[in-house]
Structure 1
Amino acid sequence: MHTEKEILFIAWESPEGGYEAHSPGHSIFTQADDFEELRAMVHDAVSCHFEEDERPSIIRLHLVKDELIVV
């Protein structure tokens, strides 16, 4: 069993309002109305995606602004 040490999420403001986040290399997407809620949703998404003994111990959430997002 291989456990990743950390996982990265790229977050951006949604054109419809709120925020969206995606983890490159994983099929994990989430969204929320505000950034604090997005942080909670990212933790929830990681908990749902990985078994407890396989979860990364570090979650990085990087907010990008005014950049081209390619996912």
Structure 2
Amino acid sequence: MKFMIYGEQANLITHPRQFGKSTNLSMLYTFLAPTFTEEEKTQRLSLFKDLRISKFKWFIKSNFGNWPVIHISFKDLNTT
């Protein structure tokens, strides 16, 4: 996650179908994207409380809900 947040380049994640790309991107969105209410912030933060990342308080303080995220899915795109 560190290279995605602090890197100076855009990241393109490509892997075969069913590899977990959407799941990982949804997790990043949930962690990084700004929240609009305290209730939403508390709810999102609770999703990470039992995970290893919760031990890095400094990382959570400086990154949780602090980054704009553009999340585009091409799942339903018909290319034929």
TM-score (normalizing by structure 1)? 0.30
TM-score (normalizing by structure 2)? 0.28
Structure number with bigger Rg: 2
> Greater strand share, 1 or 2?
1
> Greater helix share, 1 or 2?
2
